[in-house]
Amino acid sequence: MTKKVIFIGGTSYSGSTFFQLTLANDPAGFGAGEVRHLFRPTKERFLRDTWTCGCGDPACTVWDRVKQRGEAHLYETIFDMHPEVEFIVDASKNIVWMDQQRERLARQGIEVYPLIIWKTLLEFAHSLRKRKRLGLEELSNWPRYHRTYYSFIEDWRSIKYANYTHDQANVLRAVCAHLGIPYFEGKERFWEKRHHVLGGNLSSRIHLYSKDSEKYEDIRRRARGQELGQAETEHRRVYYEEPDQTALHQTIAELSQKEPRLGQIEAMLSNRDVANSAPLIQEWPDLRLSNSEIRMRQLRQYTQDHWGKIRYALRKSKTSGKVATQ
Ligand SMILES: [Zn+2]
């Protein structure tokens, strides 16, 4: 099999962490998680000791070795270190990152499969409201992310979160058929495999560990009951919550004043569904960002990455300097 890298896209709360681990649950799979932050840290938490490998072994050196060989060899290094691995799942979700990696992988003869998992605007608004983050600015991420994704990424297919929760096995089957990887009974139980995964919020990471484990308790302690939501009552389950339309109506109405193409975005995402065998509509010209908007996003990302590198590289050398002099 030709080696593959599968990129998982999606807004916040789209279920991407759960989904990427499930896909990677295969003897030939490797879930890398939010690997972008290893090379391009944009927040201090990506440098802390708590931002460690999901395998739970404090002596694990996978990511040290990957980092050492550099971003240009990221996927090659993982393939070299794990000869049994045929496909890597990258859940960095950052669109400019995916676009840049895709170009590099094409030159290296590695196949690329972009997938996006998505919630409807109503479901996304519901997730925001549950976390007390519902506001026009936060909600605007939904059209922004999906239009940017469409403008940057080619040949992608989508997975509707609601379908995934209602019929996980069949949706997974369709995804695997599209990727040319095997589907097997029990693929959903991703915690049966040890994943060297990076990142993901605490409420998704907690599903990696069994309730009686030390790591599970450790995550509970760190979250202090705030971030976990239903991760404990719905431990290791994908579940669907019906959004309360009346509570969300006003903010959605405000957003549609600002962004009239909301219906089109949803139609596009449905049309690209991985299980949709009907001919795809290829173009949604109204949703494409203008060339100057595309350049602006690239530039913003470039600046953010470089500032992050400078700031956190300095921070790191300061800390190690301190340690050395003590
Ligand atoms: Zn590890």
Spatial distance between the Cα atoms of 54 and 160, rounded to a whole number of angstroms: 26
Q: Tell how far the Cα of 306 is from the centroid of ligand 1, in angstroms.
A: 27
Q: What is the pLDDT of residue 264?
A: 96
> What is the reported pTM?
0.91
86 compared with 230, residue with greater pLDDT = 86
Q: Tell how far the Cα of 255 is from the centroid of ligand 1, in angstroms.
A: 42
Residue 300 located in a structural domain: no
CB atoms within 10 A of CB 323: 8
Residue 258 located in a structural domain: no
Based on the structure, what is the number of domains in the chain? 1
Q: Tell how far the Cα of 33 is from the centroid of ligand 1, in angstroms.
A: 12
Residue 267 located in a structural domain: no
Burial class (CB in 10 A: 0-12, 13-18, 19+), 239: exposed
Residue 41 located in a structural domain: yes
Q: Tell how far the Cα of 207 is from the centroid of ligand 1, in angstroms.
A: 16
**pLDDT, tens digit, 9 for 90 and up, residues 244-291:** 999 999 999 999 999 999 999 999 999 999 998 776 777 899 999 999
Q: Tell how far the Cα of 190 is from the centroid of ligand 1, in angstroms.
A: 15
Q: Tell how far the Cα of 198 is from the centroid of ligand 1, in angstroms.
A: 9
Q: Tell how far the Cα of 53 is from the centroid of ligand 1, in angstroms.
A: 5
47 neighbors 315 (Cβ within 8 angstroms)? yes
DSSP alpha helix (H) spans, the chain: 16-24, 36-39, 62-69, 74-81, 95-107, 121-130, 136-139, 141-152, 161-166, 168-179, 202-205, 214-223, 245-258, 262-271, 291-325
Q: Tell how far the Cα of 62 is from the centroid of ligand 1, in angstroms.
A: 6
Q: Tell how far the Cα of 52 is from the centroid of ligand 1, in angstroms.
A: 8
Indicate whether 311 pLDDT > 80. Answer: no
Residue 179 located in a structural domain: yes
Q: Which tokens go with 164?
A: 């995934």
Orientation angle between helical segments 141-152 and 95-107, nearest 10 degrees: 20
Indicate whether 309 pLDDT > 60. Answer: yes
Residue 46 located in a structural domain: yes
Q: What b-and-e string marks burial along 291-305, b requiring 16 or more CB atoms within 10 Å of the CB?
A: eeebeebeeebeeeb
CA distances, 37 to each of 54, 221, 309 (Å):
14, 24, 10
Q: Tell how far the Cα of 41 is from the centroid of ligand 1, in angstroms.
A: 19
Q: Which tokens go with 227?
A: 């971030």
Indicate whether 22 pLDDT > 50. Answer: yes
**pLDDT, tens digit, 9 for 90 and up, residues 34-53:** 999 888 887 766 665 556 78
Q: Tell how far the Cα of 273 is from the centroid of ligand 1, in angstroms.
A: 33
Q: Tell how far the Cα of 230 is from the centroid of ligand 1, in angstroms.
A: 26
Mean pLDDT to the nearest integer, 97-110: 93
By residue range, what is the domain housing residue 102? 4-121+152-241
Q: Tell how far the Cα of 64 is from the centroid of ligand 1, in angstroms.
A: 10
Residue 57 located in a structural domain: yes
Q: What is the pLDDT of residue 325?
A: 29
Note every long-range contact of 179-187, with CB atoms under 8 Å and residues 24 or more positions apart, other chains counting. Answer: 179/4, 179/6, 179/23, 179/87, 179/113, 180/1, 180/4, 181/4, 181/26, 181/28, 181/29, 181/86, 181/87, 182/26, 184/26, 187/22, 187/25, 187/26
Q: What is the pLDDT of residue 202?
A: 79
Indicate whether 216 pLDDT > 50. Answer: yes
Q: Tell how far the Cα of 28 is from the centroid of ligand 1, in angstroms.
A: 16
Residue 83 located in a structural domain: yes
Q: Tell how far the Cα of 175 is from the centroid of ligand 1, in angstroms.
A: 26
Q: Which residue has 């990427």 as its token pair?
A: 20
Q: How high is the mean pLDDT of the chain?
A: 89
Q: What is the pLDDT of residue 127?
A: 93
* In the chain, % of residues over pLDDT 90: 65
